[in-house]
Structure 1
Amino acid sequence: MKKTIKLTLAIAMLFSIQNQAQSTDEVVNSIVKEATENSQLERLAHELLDGIGPRLVGTPQMKQANDWAVAQYAKWGISAKNEQWGEWKAWERGITHIDMVYPRVQSLDGMQLAWNPSTGPKGVTAEVIVMPTFSGPDDFKNWVKSVKGKFVMVSEYQITGRPDYNWEEFATEESFAKMKKDRDSLSGLFRDNLKRTGYSNWRGSGFSEEGIAMLENSGAAGIISSYWSKAFGSNKIFSASTKKIPTIDLELEDYTMLYRLAEYGSKPVIKVVAESKDLGVAPTFNTIAEIKGSEKPEEYVILSAHLDSWDGGTGATDNGTGTLVMMEAMRILKLVYPNPKRTIIVGHWGSEEQGLNGSRAFVEDHPEIIQNIQALFNQDNGTGRVVDLSGAGFLHSYEYLTRWLEAVPNDISKHIKTEFPGSPSSGGSDNASFVAAGAPAFNLSSLSWSYWNYTWHTNRDTYDKIVFDDVRSNAILTAILVYMACEDDNKTSNEKSVLPISRRTGEQQNWPTPRSPERKGGTN
């Protein structure tokens, strides 16, 4: 009799395992089928990137994107809301026209930087000058008296507009070596000259905000920078620090032309029309969507991507593609897995670009969620397929992440390199906000596709750079990982590994600690 009972239990357990495997296969197959046959990625990308455009914190376009995301989720039957976490300087970009009017007429390629004060429709016309070689701070202060009524060029002159890979392909070894030597020498001279002013800073223009303020207070007509990204046609576009005069970034080709004309004594003159609107102060939001859990609603699996961007391009790969991945994954999960065991949340964070502010605010404002996170998956480094997954320093991450990855189709998972236990991120993207609070948060790191040079924070970060096949694979991967995390019978361990000794300091590394967000940005 006992043997019969044991046999019956064994058979029942076997059938249970088989049914569970069959159920998993069915859901995974449904995820792949929906993502492949009914993808919404192209439509979402067009509406977000072409229709709304760049999403700089504090701009009307950022709020438009928040509202658009809420409306999209509502169409899919998913509850969503905009959750205010702070406020920011409100500003809206207008037109930028930059023309050289002497010694000849030519329209120039460039744009005003974020939060630039408006020139008004009449614009500003003035001569362009370059900085001389300074002997020290006093020499710089004496020279500053001569900048009144002039546009001042504050960025390094580039001797070539060709990326290194282009030189490597076509130049002789001797020519390539000579170019690098000359370039390094000129860069060194430029850096040393800036240091002698007492106002050097290697973020963007090269000058610190105090240095730019000194030029502005001395009556400069405007500031001209060129933050080349080391790629054809790409410049990094950040923010202006001037209060009344325009700050523009010129693409390398036009910047170096103006530089040569000014250096050779031709006294070039440009006209800049850079219109914008100072809108005071605007509230800032995270867009949060949720599918309520049916068995363990107080445990959470989170999809994570920041919705904001810089505004040189339209924020396509930073972080439009991450946003698309999470929205598409949520759409698919709602369709094929409408009653998850655990609650699924997606966070579209605001002001990541100014210091992870939206996600840090969420962590600070929702301790009841943070302490009950099963897993968080973040994506934020371009359009490429996911190729790296680290355990983020959590000691037992290997056990559950590898098990969840087993459900992912081989044509996706074969590209992914894993690292366990890995190390905790202290910054870089929004997963770091959660890791610092001890929550198991993992970054889905993508193949480069020349992200750092061509699209990261540049004027070329636009729709046409998206590789939709890779983004589709990432949406499938994310949806499956979320499904597996929701279904897991066990609560994940968030036990931290012992971090190694730092090679740089020789001291024991410490786990990052939570940081409070900036909740009143640009309003001082």
Structure 2
Amino acid sequence: HTLTDVYGARLTGSPAYTAAAEWARGRFEDWGLSDPRLEPFEFGRGWTLEKLAVEMVSPRYMPLIATADAWTPSVDGVVQGPVLYVGDKSAPEIAGMTSELRGAIVLTHQPQTEFRDSDRPQPGLGDGPVRTGNPPRIPTNSATPAQEMRALLQEAGAAVAMRPTYYRDGTVGGTGSRTTPDAAVPSIVLAAEQYNMLVRLAQRGIAAELRVELRTTYDDDLLTYNVLADLPGTDPQVSDEVVLVGAHLDSWHTASGATDNGDGSLAVMEAARILSALDARPRRTIRFALWSGEEQGLLGARAYIEDHLSGEAAQDKLQVYLNDDPGSGRSLGFYMEENPGAKAIFDAWLEPLRDLNVTMNVEAGIGSTDHVPFVRMGLPAFNIIKDFEAYDERTRHTNADYPERMTEDELTQQAIFLAHFAWQAAQMDGRIPRVPGS
């Protein structure tokens, strides 16, 4: 629980992320890994949420469940006043409301009626195709497009913009854009049920009065860091070849980043500890990586490729990349990225793990995580298959992403699985087959 409870949310570029990365580097060092290090790359300024309090004070008192968009600026002091609902108004109508918008707490969207109620299908179950990317997008609706709405509110000098989440039961999702300008209107996401209540009151002619306090800070250090550590190869013929095992350490800011992707990071770290504790001496080098910037576009993995895999000769030294990301439960196998030669090898490696319920590799690939840039270059890179129970519906990018959603047994199983596959890839006589990139 150190990663999730002590360090908590690890937004890319934030001091909290850097502290967690330093902690992880220190653990690799404690376990005797070779050359544990932080590798920097330029990201942009960090951001920290210092305080957020949203309360309804009229027609009665109620604390509201909310999060702020990452990189949103602070509210000037404490703002208190009636809400102004514009979710059903067109851009020309909003443009004519300048005096009403100035200093207002604005509800920008219509009531939320569609919700993320289910997880993506489990791989290998049922007759349908395996999902290969993010879950289906759930719309939040406004009569004015979001970009135009932001510009109109900024021009008018609105105090706060609020919209509903698309999760149920008090679960609030939060992301954000690192390119948010300093002059943007501060942006807050509310629990859907409470947002809908505010709109219903407004539609009855009752403008609920809110009190909002939002303090954020920016960190002008433009660097963020991948964490790397090695178990050096011992066979002179292949010791310069690398088996790469990784997961993204960064998270969004809404909770503690437990299932996205604390569990993956911890499994990679534990796999490293297991192999080091066994005094394993692999033929090839096994490199453990914790990436930054995954949530902003797989940036850490891309930076590693640029720094370490530039050119055909360097790429030829990568034996395989094993990635641990989406999902919140036990490991089942790997998505094989339509690589039948690699699948045959991986299927054989599954056999000793069947008593751990590691039972299948699937032909399909999966997108939106750190192995994808490797795959696009034609490099052998595969993402772990995990259960999605309550992941898309409840924890991913939300204020419910805490360690209660994972178990020690599942993390142990993941770590053993990764350590076994990393060892097999490091020891095999041949190379992992490759297929052309996209």
TM-score by length of 1: 0.74
SS in 2 for 1:146: helix
Structure 2 stretches lacking a partner, 5+ long: 120-137
3-state SS in 2 of match to 1:353: helix
- Measured after TM superposition, the shift of residue 379 of structure 1 is 1.0
Equivalent of 2:417, from 477, 480, 493? Answer: 477
Aligned partner of 1:158 among 95, 105, 112: 112
2:344 is the alignment partner of 1:399: yes
Question: Which is helix-richer, 1 or 2?
Answer: 1
Match of 1:336 among 272, 278, 288: 278
Equivalent-residue separation in structure 2 for 1:164 and 1:409 (angstroms): 28
Matched, 1:119 2:75: yes
Read off the aligned partner of 1:221 and give its amino acid letter: A
**Alignment partner, residue 160 of structure 2:** 222
CA distance in 2, matches of 1:139, 1:115: 28
Consecutive unaligned residues of structure 1, counting only runs of 5 or more, are 1-45, 166-186, 201-206, 497-510, 513-524
The letter of the residue matching 2:32 is G
Does residue 309 in structure 1 map to residue 251 in structure 2?
Answer: yes
Q: Distance in 2 between matches of 1:494 and 1:160?
A: 42
Q: State the distance in 1 between where 2:246 and 2:116 align.
A: 36
* 1:235 corresponds to 2:172: yes
- Code of the residue aligned with 2:419 in structure 1: it is A
Name the counterpart of 2:404: 464
Shift of 1:55: 0.4
Residue of structure 1 equivalent to 2:212 = 272
**1:57 aligned residue:** 12
Decide which of 266, 271, 274 is 1:324's aligned counterpart: 266
Q: CA deviation at 1:163?
A: 4.9
The 5 A counterparts of 1:50-449 are 50-79=5-34, 80-119=36-75, 122-131=77-86, 133-134=88-89, 137-143=91-97, 146-158=100-112, 163=117, 191=141, 194=143, 197=144, 200=145, 207-208=146-147, 210-229=148-167, 231-239=168-176, 241=180, 243-244=182-183, 245-295=185-235, 296-367=238-309, 369-413=314-358, 416-420=359-363, 422-423=364-365, 425=366, 427-449=367-389
User: How far off its partner does 1:488 sit?
Assistant: 0.6
Corresponding residue number in structure 2 for 1:183:
none
Kept in 1: contact 2:88–2:109 (CA 8 A): no
By how many angstroms is 1:137 displaced?
4.3
Contact 2:88 2:110 in 1 (8 A): no
Q: Secondary structure at the match of 1:491?
A: coil
Report deviation, 1:242.
Answer: 6.0
1:73-128 CA deviation, whole Å, 9 max, x = no partner?
Answer: 111011210001113212221011111122222222212221121235x3212221
- Tell me which residue corresponds to 1:34: none
Could you tell me whether the CA contact under 8 Å between 1:404 and 1:485 is conserved in 2? no
Aligned partner of residue 411 in structure 2, secondary structure: helix
Residue 315 (structure 1) shift: 0.5
In 1: Cα distance, 2:116 partner to 2:398 partner: 17
Are the equivalent residues in 1 in contact too, given 2:87–2:110 (CA < 8 A)?
Answer: no
Conserved 8 A contact 1:57-1:88: no
- Cα distance change of structure 1 residues 471 and 148 upon mapping to structure 2, 3 Å threshold: same
* Counterpart contact for 1:293–1:343, Cα < 8 Å: yes
Amino acid at match of 2:54: I
Counterparts of 1:407 and 1:290 in 2: how far apart (Å)?
25
1:172-191 deviation line (CA, Å, top 9, x unaligned): xxxxxxxxxxxxxxx99x84
Amino acid paired to 1:297: S
Q: Residue deviations 1:36-58, cap 9 Å, x none?
A: xxxxxxxxxx1111001100011
Q: Give yes or no for contact 1:370–1:434 (8 Å, CA) kept in 2.
A: no
Cα deviation, 1:15-54, whole Å, max 9, x if unaligned, reads xxxxxxxxxxxxxxxxxxxxxxxxxxxxxxx111100110
- Between 68-77 and 393-402, report the one with greater CA deviation: 393-402
* 2-structure distance, mates of 1:248, 1:400: 49
Q: Aligned partners of 2:432, 2:347: CA distance in 1, in Å?
A: 13
Partner of 1:48: 3
Which residue is 2:393 aligned to? 453
Task: Label 1:337 to 1:436 Cα distance change in 2 as closer, same or farther (>3 A).
Answer: farther
The alignment partner of 2:20 has SS state of helix
CA gap of 1:436–1:129, structure 2 versus 1, over 3 A, is same
Identity value in percent:
30
Larger Rg: 1
Equivalent-residue separation in structure 2 for 1:316 and 1:395 (angstroms)? 33
Q: 1:65 to 1:132 in 2, by over 3 A?
A: closer
Q: TM-score, normalised by structure 2?
A: 0.88
2:83 and 2:209 in contact (8 A); partners too: yes
Q: How big is the shift at 1:252? A: 2.0
The verdict on how the C-alpha distance between 1:407 and 1:299 changes in structure 2, with shifts beyond 3 A counting, is farther
RMSD between superposed Cα atoms in Å: 2.3
